[in-house]
Amino acid sequence: MKRNTAARTIAYLACFSLAVLAAPLSADSGAAPSRPTNAPAQTASPSDIFGPLFDAVQMRRLFADSKTFADAIPRRSPPAILADYRARTEWSDDDLRAFVRANFDMPDEAVPAAAGRTSPRPLLDHIRNLWDLLARPPVTPSPGSSALAFAGTHVVPGGRFREIYYWDSYFTMLGLREDGRRDLIEGMIDGFVGLVERYGHVPNGARSYYLSRSQPPFLYLMMGLSDVHDPAVLNRRLDALIDEHGYWTRGAHVVRMPDGATLNRFWDDRDTPRDESYREDVITARASGRPAAEVYRNLRAAAESGWDFSSRWLADGHMLATVDTTDIVPVDLNSLLYGLERDIAGRCIALHRSCATTFERQARQRRAAIEHWLWDDAEGRYGDWELPRRRLRPGLSAATAYPLFTRLAIPAHAARVAATIETRLIAPGGLRTTLVRTGQQWDEPNGWAPLQWIAANGLDAYGHGTVARHIARAWISTVEARYRASGKLVEKYDVETRGSGGGGEYPLQDGFGWTNGVTRAMIARWGDPIRSP
Instruction: Look up the pTM and report it.
Output: 0.92
Q: What is the pLDDT of residue 505?
A: 86
C-alpha dihedral, 84 to 88 to 93 to 94, nearest 10°: -70
Q: What is the pLDDT of residue 506?
A: 85
How confident is the model at residue 331, as a pLDDT? 99
Is pLDDT larger for residue 3 or for residue 416? 416
pLDDT at 31: 30
| Per-residue pLDDT, 529 | 78
> String of b and e for 107-141 (b: at least 16 CB within 10 Å)?
beeebbeebeeeebeebbebbbebbeebbbeebeb
Task: Find all residues with CB under 8 Å of 465, minimum gap 6, and list them.
Answer: 459
| Residue (of 336, 363, 202) closest to 265 by Cα position | 336
Q: Enumerate the β-bridge partners of residue 254.
A: 264
Q: What is the C-alpha to C-alpha distance for residues 416 and 397, in angstroms, rounded to an integer?
A: 14
Q: What is the DSSP string of 67-87?
A: HHHHT-EESS-HHHHHHHHHT
Residue of 308, 327, 332, 444 with catalytic role: 308
Q: Measured between alpha carbons, how far is 310 from 382 in angstroms, rounded to an integer?
A: 17
Q: 3-class SS at 395?
A: coil
- Are 366 and 337 within 8 A, CB to CB? yes
pLDDT of res. 169: 98
Is the Cβ–Cβ distance between 336 and 217 less than 8 Å? Answer: yes
**Are 508 and 490 contacting, i.e. CB atoms less than 8 angstroms apart?**
yes
Q: Which of 480, 491, 505, 510 is catalytic?
A: 491
pLDDT, position 530: 67
Tell whether omega for the bond before 445 is within 30 degrees of 0, i.e. cis.
yes
Q: Has residue 3 got a pLDDT over 50?
A: no
Of the candidates 407, 511, 331, the one whose C-alpha atom is nearest the C-alpha of residue 18 is: 407
Spacing of C-alpha 492 from chain mean position: 14
pLDDT of residue 119: 60
Mean pLDDT of 42-62: 95
Please tell me the predicted confidence (pLDDT) of residue 34: 35
- Number of residues written out for the chain: 533
**Mean pLDDT across the stretch 496-520?**
93
pLDDT per residue as tens digits for the range 261-319: 999 999 999 999 999 999 999 999 999 999 999 999 999 999 999 999 999 999 999 99
Least confident segment among 28-37, 384-393, 449-458, 461-470: 28-37
326, 300, 170, 438: CA torsion to nearest 10? 80
Average confidence (pLDDT) over 3-7: 45
Q: Which residues contact 128 (CB under 8 A, 6 or more apart)?
A: 179
* Choice between 467 and 20, residue whose per-residue pLDDT is larger: 467
Average pLDDT, the chain: 91
Q: Is 308 a catalytic residue?
A: yes
Instruction: Provide the residue type at 322 as one letter.
Output: T
Q: Which band of pLDDT confidence, cut at 50, 70 and 90, is reported for residue 109?
A: low
Summarize the confidence of residues 99-119 as an average pLDDT.
72
Phi, psi of 93 (to 5 degrees): -60, -40
Handedness of CA 435, 441, 446, 449 (dihedral sign): negative
Over residues 431-482, the pLDDT tens digits come to 999 999 999 999 999 999 999 999 999 999 999 999 999 999 999 999 999 9
| 76-107 residue pLDDT tens | 999 999 999 999 999 999 999 999 999 999 99
Give the pLDDT confidence of 187-221 residue by residue, as tens digits.
Answer: 999 999 999 999 999 999 999 999 999 999 999 99
CA distance 135 to 156: 6
At 421, the amino acid letter reads I
Per residue in 158-179, pLDDT (tens digit) is 999 999 999 999 999 999 999 9
